[in-house]
Amino acid sequence: MKQLSTKVTSNGHGQDSSYFLGWEEYEKNPYDEMKNPNGMIQMGLAENQLCFDLIESWLAKNQDAASLKRNGQSIFRELALFQDYHGMPEFKKAMAEFMEEIRGNRVTFDPKKIVLAAGSTSANETLMFCLAEPGDAFLLPTPYYPGFDRDLKWRTGAEIVPIHCSSSNGFQITESALQQAYQQALKLDLKVKGVLVTNPSNPLGTALTRRELNLLVDFITSKNIHLISDEIYSGTMFGFEQFISVMDVLQDKKLGNTEVSKRVHIVYSLSKDLGLPGFRVGAIYSNDEMIVSAATKMSSFGLVSSQTQYLLSALLSDKKFTSQYLEENQKRLRSRQKRLVSGLESSGITSLRSNAGLFCWVDMRHLLDTNTFEAELDLWKKIVYNVKLNISPGSSCHCTEPGWFRVCFANMSEDTLDLALKRLKTFVESTDCGRMISRKSHERLKSLRKKTVSNWVFRVSWSDRVPDER
């Protein structure tokens, strides 16, 4: 019998997570308005399809870029030939300027410090290879994106230790939670190499506050460790607050050219802000020359095609377009999020107040039979198999409190979203709990906004967590 590596034979990829299982069920029976109106609606995929018309309009007006031409002459052969892993200078410059524009041009990015990668998945894994040895740990605030168990751990051998956050303060990061996670890692004999955060958060749909960012920078400074800020949703801010990047905090603290700044790294992508996950465009930004050099060499394993770089350098260099796009994208996301939230509230369901992202963090704790993760998965199965909506259970995001779900809203039409909300409302009203909720929805919505503090058992792995009974 042929011997295979443990990478092949183990389940370290995390494909058996309910997050990925929901996708598999959707693919068996996908909803289509005409061909399969009773099919499953995909609400577990964070795609931004709200502004495709703007990009398509730009492509129609810029035939040279779309047709791989320069001044009317084909450059197909030039783009078809080998390109080294440093990337096209004009594209890296356009990426840097777009990142600056999203941050209100308050901070600057040096194109020479950008490393291109085939999406943020590749970028995050590359940083793990650069910063951690197998068995070293990174601290991540919960709930976090389920794919991180694959992206950060599977091939690198790194470990994740959760920073447990609570609904009592809107899942914000606290100093005590950071210290507890750090101490837990030491108890497990793990060397902590850094903290990784998503800002804005996936799955919460909230941007980190300046207080949290200051806390994080102070924490990694005191521990002499790294901070990775995954900012792939930075252009999806639809609230009226400005997006605050970790770069803003470094600048405010006058840490721009210090050893601390060399331990702060940013991951970016065009998958969420521009809605182009299929183009596989990601980036690492670091002030550490050794990290930039090593990550650039590693990028050979996941390059961005020359054709993609050429097309997007033209698009991102069109400042009139990018300005209009970001403004319109913000308006459409705000409108769509409001539509989801109001529809949920008509069913007596609330969600965490959000200001960014392509999803809401939805509170269905009142629909659980018991306050357990088993009850959460039972509810999830009913919603997937009976209601035919694929949403992501909080346990797949390592949430410490059963009953929270991530629900996406930007990967479908308004009509499809309305149908999904109608299906969910019918389900809620069909339950004994639902009938009670419907009668008392207004009172309940008010009371749920006043969160009470709950104590939760600290565990490293979500699979063996048992919450305190409430």
Verify whether residue 272 is a known catalytic residue.
yes
CATH of the domain at 204: 3.40.640.10
In a domain, 240, yes or no: yes
The answer to whether residues 122 and 250 belong to one domain is yes
Please check whether residue 39 lies inside any domain of the structure: yes
Q: Which of 92, 93, 193, 272 is catalytic?
A: 272
Q: Which of 19, 31, 145, 233 is catalytic?
A: 145
75 catalytic residue (yes or no): no
Residue of 136, 149, 230, 273 marked catalytic: 230
Is 331 in the active site?
no
User: Do 139 and 238 fall into the same domain?
Assistant: yes
- 13 belongs to a structural domain: yes
Would residue 437 count as lying in a domain? no
Residue 100 shares a structural domain with residue 199? yes
| 454 is a domain residue | no
| Residue 419 resides in a domain | yes
Residues 200 and 310 in one domain: yes
Six-digit token string for 161: 């230790």
Q: Which of 232, 266, 284, 349 is catalytic?
A: 232
Is residue 465 in a domain? no
Residue 232 appears among annotated catalytic residues: yes
Residue-level pLDDT, tens digit, the chain, 470 residues? 468 888 787 777 666 777 778 878 899 999 999 999 999 999 999 999 999 999 999 999 999 988 888 988 888 888 888 787 788 899 999 999 999 999 999 999 999 999 999 999 999 999 999 999 999 999 999 999 998 988 899 899 999 999 999 999 999 999 999 999 999 999 999 999 999 999 999 999 999 999 999 999 999 999 999 999 999 999 999 988 899 999 999 999 999 889 999 999 999 999 999 999 989 999 999 999 999 999 999 998 888 899 999 999 999 999 999 999 999 999 999 999 999 999 999 999 999 999 999 999 999 999 999 999 999 999 999 999 999 999 999 999 999 999 999 999 999 999 999 999 999 999 999 875 554 554 444 454 445 444 333 332 233 333 333 333 33
Say if 445 falls within a structural domain: no
Q: Which domain holds residue 13?
A: 6-50+331-427
Domain count, the chain: 2
CATH code at position 395: 3.90.1150.10
Note whether 274 and 396 are same-domain residues. Answer: no
